[in-house]
Structure 1
Amino acid sequence: MLRLRFLTWDVKDTLLRLRQPVGERYAAEARAHGVWVQPEALGRSFGEAYDAQSRHFPNYGRGQGLSSRQWWVDVVKQTFRLSGVREDGILTLMAENLYRDFCSAGNWEVLPGASETLSQCCQRGFRMAVVSNFDNRLENVLSQCNLRHHFEFVLTSEDAGFAKPDGRIFEQALRLSGVPPEQAAHVGDDYTRDYRAARAVGMHSFLLRAAGQDKEPEVPPEHLLPTLSHLLALIEKG
């Protein structure tokens, strides 16, 4: 059995997922203002706007004096502009509404098995925290989705000043917990940002890989989670 005391968790697509594609949510917001845009077009524009903003202002502009709120408002406006919406007043209104909206449980749902697995981990005495490439709305999102109480702390990349796969975000989490890396494990769905990055600082790591997803050749089967419900059995087997 692994001698683990501390578990850190990724959030998006590990514990929570969006209830509907971004393009659909943005199209619904536009309709509420009498603007009709195809969800598919908005989905493509969002990807383009998000990637460009991430390149120019990494980690929500944390190192360049931008607030994450402004970062997101700019992404939303640019998404609509790329889809042909030009009216500044409406762009600002939609961007503010969507920024606020993505704080709420209305846009997020808890993945199957997540609540039960977190509860069981707490019952077994594991200390737990979140390590996520997210902005400072995450505390509120987790509270709204009734998951926040499972964690000692929530460390976002915006708070830490470093985004996964930068090992310094994991080192910061280990310092906050006071637990050495060999007694800690990270659970996430991204091979590079979660699995490899945590292992690079000496932590154990589990990779959530749903059936049908490509398997990473470097990940031994005992580190792979077909669902979160498999976690405790893998820890006990290890």
Structure 2
Amino acid sequence: MTGLRPIQAVVFDAAGTLIRTREPVGATYGRMARAYGAEVPASRLDEAFGRIFAAAPPNVHPGETLADSAELERRWWRARVRETFRAADGMAAFSDFDAFFDRLWDHYACAEAWELMPGAREALDELVERRLMLAVLSNFDQRLRPLLRQLGIHHLFEAVTLPSDAGAAKPARQIFDVCLKRLGIANHRCVYVGDRAEEDLASSRTAGLHPIDVRQLATLAELPALVEALEKELA
């Protein structure tokens, strides 16, 4: 078919690409843990969290209802948080770990814990002005949609695709195909913006999308020009 734009959509990863935590994870974990009697240095929690998160199985639960999947996602995170504290300090003792985790879970469900990446709003507005479809494809749990609403950007996206929707998580091709089916465009007419070499960039390339490494940009405000250059190259 002739007359189609080479690039019709820009799809974003979420955490680390479009949004980021307002403070390091270790600082938040450590500060909240102190209220429950556990004293662990933020630097050790940061290091432990990175190792635990990288080695964890995907937080995806095929065949479950959205409600059941949401509960399983929460249990997945509880296990990762518990493992993080054990790895950082095996002697750390909580007066009430469940109460601590409830507070931590709720904290990361709120916009107060997050902020847009530098240049994100400018990039999104310019891409919309250029009549490109926007979407989010992330391994985030079901807290992401309300979080994007709180951050004031949910309305800019044609679709938000999560493991609970697709029954699969990155790097599986299935989640990319579900996202692009929702948008109604071919994979090769889509850019994927991410920050992880394998989970985002390699997997999106394998799925037929055009990956862009957000780490190569000074800010996301540079993204529209990069997409425009790619369109010209593919025309």
TM range (shorter): 0.7 to 0.9
* Distance change (3 Å), C-alpha of 1:232 and 1:40: closer
Q: Aligned runs of 1:59-74 on 2, under 5 Å?
A: 59-60=58-59, 62-63=61-62, 67-74=72-79
Q: Distance in 2 between matches of 1:44 and 1:203?
A: 32
The Cα RMSD (Å) is 2.3
Query: Displacement of 1:2 after TM fit?
Result: 6.0
Q: Which residue of 1 aligns with 2:109?
A: 103
Q: Distance in 1 between matches of 2:86 and 2:33?
A: 12
Q: Which residue of 1 aligns with 2:228?
A: 236
Query: Displacement of 1:28 after TM fit?
Result: 0.8
State which of 19, 28, 32 in structure 1 corresponds to 2:35: 32
* Distance change (3 Å), C-alpha of 1:37 and 1:209: closer
Q: Aligned runs of 1:27-176 on 2, under 5 Å?
A: 27-51=30-54, 54=56, 58-60=57-59, 62-63=61-62, 67-82=72-87, 83=89, 84-87=91-94, 90-176=96-182
Q: Distance in 1 between matches of 2:106 and 2:228?
A: 41
Q: Aligned runs of 1:181-200 on 2, under 5 Å?
A: 181-200=187-206
**Cα pair 1:182 1:202 within 8 Å, conserved:** yes
Query: Displacement of 1:93 after TM fit?
Result: 0.6
Cα deviations by residue, 1:76-100 (Å, 9 ceiling, x for unpaired): 233334422334x511111111011
Cα deviations by residue, 1:13-64 (Å, 9 ceiling, x for unpaired): 1111111111110111022234322212322333344345x1xxx2225149
Q: Which residue of 2 aligns with 1:222?
A: none
Q: Distance in 1 between matches of 2:50 and 2:221?
A: 31
Q: Which residue of 2 aligns with 1:5?
A: 8
**Cα pair 1:77 1:92 within 8 Å, conserved:** no
The list of structure 1 runs, each at least 4 consecutive aligned residues, that deviate by more than 6 angstroms after superposition, is none
TM-score, reference length from structure 2: 0.83
Q: Distance in 1 between matches of 2:33 and 2:105?
A: 14
Query: Displacement of 1:166 after TM fit?
Result: 1.4
Aligned residue pairs total 219
The 3-state SS of whatever aligns with 1:162 is coil
Q: Letter of the aligned partner of 1:86 in structure 2?
A: A
Q: Distance in 2 between matches of 1:69 and 1:99?
A: 8
> Alignment identity in percent?
34
The 3-state SS of whatever aligns with 2:11 is strand
The 3-state SS of whatever aligns with 1:70 is helix
**Cα pair 1:9 1:130 within 8 Å, conserved:** yes
Gaps of 5+ in 1: 211-224
Q: Distance in 2 between matches of 1:86 and 1:146?
A: 38
Q: Distance in 2 between matches of 1:231 and 1:44?
A: 30
